[in-house]
Structure 1
Amino acid sequence: MHLNWNAMRDEVNDLLDTKGFKESLNNKWQLAALLHTEVVELQLADNTDEEELELADLFIRALNLVIANDMDLSQCDFSDTSWMTLLKQNRDFRAVDCLNYAIVQYTEAIKKHKGLTEENHSIIMILQALIQYADILGLDINHIFRRKMDINWGRPYRYGTGMEEPAYS
């Protein structure tokens, strides 16, 4: 499956600008917490439809980290997933456990001020775990991303904040 990461990143960035959420990228702790929340929502999904939407939310939240760190994903290597293989062998981790591990690696990188290189590496780990999760569920990432972004584009300005304004046409 071909993923045009930078096009996806750019569309999420446009959505953040258009819907009034761009300032949320200034708080990396909040971004990490939102990832954890989305993982819980994914695990609580009652049906395949909800599962697809929650997984798409996770991709969008991960792309928020990409935007916050000004990453160019076309230059990133997604092929080395040995860290997930080791976790699964040594700790009997499932795909969701690998995802949580990657998110914890991100929070460790920001907590210990390890710098952008470590933050960016952990963001790639998060995306790798999401790709694997989608693969296990047999989901097309492009399809679920497009579906969720279409929903988000149809929402009003600052949706979900209590300060919503009507969508402008």
Structure 2
Amino acid sequence: MEVEVKFRVDFEKIKLKIESLGASFVGEELQEDVYFSLPFPKLLRVRKIENLGKSFLTYKEIKDPGRNEEFDELEVEVSDFHTTVEILRRLGYREDVTVRKRRLVYRLDGITFELNDVEGLGGFLDIEVISEDVEGAKRKIWEVAKRLGLSEKDVEPRLYQELIREKEGR
């Protein structure tokens, strides 16, 4: 189970705080995500990681739709981003939104920090733990969030595609 909490942050300030914890820098990714319309709480996405030359087809089901913290996820690497998007179109799936972001990835003690600069939306930090112990994972996330100076008021419960739809007035 993927357990994550997303925070709205100042990109540069939180980057320094993550580094001060001793988190290891894993890498930078330039991502383009095309989301397709599915009945909520299900998500279907094709992701291109431009600077790594990789693409993925991902199905996610949100386990707690009120908070968007727990996800059951299936993902497979695909060889061609554009062809995968076209196959989904021809199968009748309708594109919903495209999300473009610069992501810096850090790891520390089983925790993944995904620091995102999302085009048109600003800075966000996803703190993620993969675990079958959902409550333990949430405790771990909140312990490190507090060390970073983050609180419940900083949580962004909406998905990126929801934020983009709102910005576009949909």
With the length of structure 1 as denominator, give the TM-score of the two structures: 0.29
More strand by percentage? 2
**With structure 2 as the length reference, what TM-score do the two structures score?**
0.29
Greater share of helix residues, 1 or 2?
1
